[in-house]
Amino acid sequence: MTGATWANEGAAANSNKLEIQRIAAMILAGPSLQSAEWRTTVAAMERPIEVDLPHKLGREEARRRIAGNVHKLTDHIPGGAADVKSNWVGDQLNLDITAMGQTVAAQIDVQEAKVRCRVMLPGMLALFAGPIEAALNRKGSDLLLEDRSKTR
C-alpha cells in the first residue's frame, strides 16, 4: 500500500468517526422532558373539545344552577385529589382543573337556550378526547340540575 492510500483511508476513517460523534452529540443533546423544544411539542398535542348542552331554563337560572353545582366537579375527576379553580366573567365560567399533574382549562358559556362547554386537553390527555367528550355529553347537563344537597 502506498503512503497516499494510507492517508486517504485514514482521512475517511477520521471523517466517519467525526460523523458518529456529531450524531451521538445530537442524540444526547436532543429534547429532554424539561426542554423548551419538548414543551412546544407537547403543547402542539393539545386538543379542544366543544360540547353544547341545550336547556330550557333561561340564562339566569342556568347560570345560578351551574354556580351552585361547580363544587361537585371534583367528584367526577379520576385520581381523587383534584383542584378546581373557578372565576365568573359575565356569563362565562372559567375553570382551571388540576389533577394527577395535568391542568385542564375550560370555559362554560351560559346562553339563553344552551350551555357551551369548551375544554382544552393538554398533551397526553388529548389521547382521551373521545371518551372525555362522550362523558361531557352524557354527564355535563348534571351541572344544570337543581342542587338539593344544600337544602337537607
Report which of residues 148 and 34 the model is more confident about.
148
52 DSSP β-pair partners: 116
51's grid cell: 360540547
pLDDT in tens, 67-118: 998 888 877 776 667 888 999 999 999 999 888 788 889 999 999 999 999 9
Task: Measure the CA–CA gap between 74 and 98, rounded to whole angstroms.
Answer: 10
C-alpha cell at 79: 385520581
Domains in the chain (CATH in brackets) are: 47-144 (3.30.530.20)
Q: What cell was used for 114?
A: 344552551
What is the rounded CA–CA span in Å between residue 74 and residue 76?
A: 5
Which residue has 354527564 as its cell numbers? 139
User: What are 5-46's pLDDT values in tens digits?
Assistant: 555 555 555 666 777 776 666 566 655 555 555 455 545 578
CA gap 152, 143 in Å, rounded: 19
